[in-house]
Amino acid sequence: MNPARQLYRYLVTNNRQDYHPQNFRKSAIIFSPHQDDETLGCGGTIIRKKQAGADIKIVFMTDGSGSHAHLMNPQKLKTLRRNEALEAAEVLGLDRSDIFFLDFQDGTLKFNQQKALPKVLEILTNFDPEEVFIPYSKEEPSDHWATYKIVQSALQQSTFNLTVYEYPIWFWRQWPWTSLVGRPREILSCLKNTWSSGFGYKFLTDLNCSVYVADVLEQKKMALEEHRSQIQRLVDDSSWMTLGDLSKGEFLDCFFQDYEFFYPSKIISQKLN
Ligand SMILES: [Zn+2]
């Protein structure tokens, strides 16, 4: 591991505050833009909360049909990812009845915010969770920040007594957590994240709530392996990118550290547009 990453890892690990042990039993809804974000960002936490007896639901906002649409029929990919998500959730300890699919077309959530809002509000109202997990506000992909925005807006519509935890996915893709390698677009995105995090400063100021997951990493890995379309090349074509291809595997390594990191955020009033 390069020295800069080692230093960052040391700083982040020593700056963190433990998620309170009493919280493991609290009910939660995980809002996941795509089928795999829930496992990558919160998989270990979900496993530990289920072990403690918590009631957990996962809401998938989009249908995931766009990840490899240039090589597989989107309808086929949608069905595949739906089944993968159900299998992964089972490994995490959930029942099929705990999973909701809102099925907005992959990549279009920002255009469907008004349609998604009542659906999210209905789930929040019916379940009334003690915690909600949403993507980190500085996530770059549009489905990720749209998920953040829709859930925050839904939380404004009623009085909920809950804590919001934001989880990073693509935000990890920044130097020195990942090296500056790949296509120009990927390097640019890595530099952008590095800049917007203040060269890692945000990891210390925001993402300082952590859950120890080292003892459940094997189970988390097994859950991620159920997302076969994202970790295996299902078509013999090098343009079928897998999570392991990104930044030579360094991106995936970020999700298999001893801790999962969260930002326990406040509810922010945001109008949809
Ligand atoms: Zn995603």
Quick one: which H or E segment has residue 211?
Answer: strand 209-212
DSSP state of 66: T
How far is the centre of ligand 1, averaged over its atoms, from the C-alpha of 34 (Å)? 4
Q: Is the pLDDT of residue 113 over 50?
A: yes
How far is the centre of ligand 1, averaged over its atoms, from the C-alpha of 139 (Å)? 10
pLDDT at 185: 83
Average pLDDT over residues 162-169: 96
How far is the centre of ligand 1, averaged over its atoms, from the C-alpha of 63 (Å)? 11
How far is the centre of ligand 1, averaged over its atoms, from the C-alpha of 191 (Å)? 19
How far is the centre of ligand 1, averaged over its atoms, from the C-alpha of 12 (Å)? 23
How far is the centre of ligand 1, averaged over its atoms, from the C-alpha of 186 (Å)? 15
| Position 272 confidence tier, pLDDT thresholds 50, 70, 90 | low
pLDDT at 44: 98
pLDDT at 12: 86
pLDDT in tens, 81-91: 999 999 999 99
How far is the centre of ligand 1, averaged over its atoms, from the C-alpha of 213 (Å)? 21
| Position 141 confidence tier, pLDDT thresholds 50, 70, 90 | confident
Task: Report long-range pairs for 177-181 (Cβ below 8 Å, ≥24 apart).
Answer: 177/5, 177/8, 177/250, 177/254, 178/246, 178/247, 178/250, 178/251, 178/254, 179/2, 179/247, 179/248, 179/250, 181/247, 181/248
Select from 265, 61, 271 the least CA-distant residue to 156.
271
Q: Give dist(CA 31, CA 37) in Å, integer.
A: 9
Most confident of the following: 9-18, 91-100, 231-240? 91-100
The residue whose two tokens read 């996962």 is 58
pLDDT at 268: 52
How far is the centre of ligand 1, averaged over its atoms, from the C-alpha of 144 (Å)? 6
- Cβ(47)–Cβ(93) below 8 Å: yes
pLDDT in tens, 193-208: 898 888 888 888 889 8
Q: Domains in the chain and their CATH numbers? A: 17-169+207-239+259-269 (3.40.50.10320)
pLDDT in tens, 38-53: 999 999 999 999 999 9
* pTM recorded for the entire structure: 0.94
Q: Provide the greatest CA pair distance for the chain.
A: 51
C-alpha separations of 91 from 59, 124, 226, 227 in Å: 16, 24, 8, 11
How far is the centre of ligand 1, averaged over its atoms, from the C-alpha of 38 (Å)? 9
pLDDT at 269: 46
Q: Give dist(CA 109, CA 270) in Å, integer.
A: 16
Q: Edge to edge, what strands does the sheet with 259-265 contain?
A: 17-18, 209-212, 259-265, 163-167, 131-135, 28-32, 56-62, 99-104
Burial class (CB in 10 A: 0-12, 13-18, 19+), 45: buried
How far is the centre of ligand 1, averaged over its atoms, from the C-alpha of 243 (Å)? 11
Q: Give dist(CA 162, CA 164) in Å, integer.
A: 7
For residue 84, how many C-alpha atoms fall within 13 Å in the half-sphere facing its CB?
A: 25
**DSSP secondary structure string, 112-165?**
GHHHHHHHHHHHHHHH--SEEEEE-TT--SHHHHHHHHHHHHHHHSS----EEE
How far is the centre of ligand 1, averaged over its atoms, from the C-alpha of 269 (Å)? 23
Q: Which residues contact 17 (CB under 8 A, 6 or more apart)?
A: 208, 209, 210
How far is the centre of ligand 1, averaged over its atoms, from the C-alpha of 37 (Å)? 5
How far is the centre of ligand 1, averaged over its atoms, from the C-alpha of 24 (Å)? 25
How far is the centre of ligand 1, averaged over its atoms, from the C-alpha of 163 (Å)? 22
How far is the centre of ligand 1, averaged over its atoms, from the C-alpha of 157 (Å)? 26
165 vs 202, more confident: 165
- Taking all residues of the chain, what is their mean pLDDT, rounded to a whole number? 92
How far is the centre of ligand 1, averaged over its atoms, from the C-alpha of 78 (Å)? 14
How far is the centre of ligand 1, averaged over its atoms, from the C-alpha of 35 (Å)? 7
Report the range of poorest mean pLDDT among 20-29, 53-62, 174-183, 244-253. Answer: 174-183
Cis link prior to 3 (omega < 30° from 0)?
no
